[in-house]
Amino acid sequence: MWSMLLDRIPDVWVFLNALFVFIIPYTIYKVNQKLHQHGDPPWKKENKG
């Protein structure tokens, strides 16, 4: 029974790639926010408050 369950678990690479699918776009999003925060002219920044 255990062998049947263990055969259905995906390989470690599948979990690693699934993690990368989240981490890479999130990192790009955060870097883009920081670049806009420091590089946008005042009239393009959102009014907060």
Sequential pLDDT tens for the chain (49 residues): 888 888 888 899 999 999 999 999 999 999 999 998 888 888 887 766 4
Looking at residue 21, what is its pLDDT? Answer: 98
For the chain, domain boundaries: 2-37
Phi, psi at residue 9, to the nearest 5°? -75, 130
pTM: 0.67
State in Å, rounded, how far the first CA of the chain is from the last one.
60
Looking at residue 48, what is its pLDDT? Answer: 62
